[in-house]
Structure 1
Amino acid sequence: MSLQLKINTDLKEAMKAKQEPLLSTLRLLKADIQYELTKNGAQELSDEQVIVLIKRGYVKRTDAIQMYEKANRNDLADKEKGEAEVLKSYLPPDVPEDQIIAAVEKFVIELGASGPKDIGKVMGKVMAEFKGANIDGSKVSAIVKSKLS
């Protein structure tokens, strides 16, 4: 079953069960998918395209959580946290940090990277290595900078 069909199925089940946080999040996600379909003129999106949309929504939620917490709006932060958890459940599992470190070390050696000027090259290779996986770019950046500094 494709990810898009799973989201549609889960949306129908959430409507029947009246699970409000799940329902509102899936409706927003379905709207994003529908917009992308209309924009591309496609009938269905690939799982990779849907994952990109989910990641985009997840990042928006995590940014909003930080802003709401700075403004002491815990009620809105909690709502965003709930939506972020729903979106995260549709993402592939996070890449373990030890795998990221191993990949960084491999590409530092492979590229002969020696200093801060090579951060971009190593970052590009590591991100390409884990394309399609759920990987945090800021975590990768921090690891690469620590290895090359």
Structure 2
Amino acid sequence: MYRSLFPRDVLAEMDRLQRDLQQALDPSPTIRGFARHGYPALNVGGTPKTIEIYAFAPGLDPATLEVNLERGLLTIAGERKSPLPDKSDKSDKATVHINERFEGRFRRVVTLPDDADPDQVSAKLHDGVLHITIQRRISAQPRRIQIQ
């Protein structure tokens, strides 16, 4: 009886193909971010005093990242290089069987609310997480009004 070195379940393969096709055609968010143009994955939230943005970009050099804020748009851009051997290099005998890691240039744009203060922005990269904090304008922050 013939036995494959790589046994496959036909139903599991069909399920994988269906998921791949849905991900390619459906721009809705998934656990990995958006199906297209979803790198780096973002979490955006805030407090009454700040807007907090987390970009998950493990393995990136801070020198390759660029964060800009202009006219209410926050842009995170950069480039992620592959640690794998270059395909054009024929002298190396290494073979890549699976490469699921994103490589290349990326750009994410976030529209900020009107109360974001462009003069009060900080960005820190730690353990592959870029944390951007934008202060809200003092005039827009909630405050208690004394009743006389």
Shorter-chain TM-score tier: under 0.3
**TM-score, with structure 2 as normaliser:** 0.22
Which structure: greater helix fraction?
A: 1
Q: Which has the higher contact order (CA 8 A, sep 6+)?
A: 2
Q: TM-score, normalised by structure 1?
A: 0.22
Q: Which has the higher Rg, Structure 1 or Structure 2?
A: 2
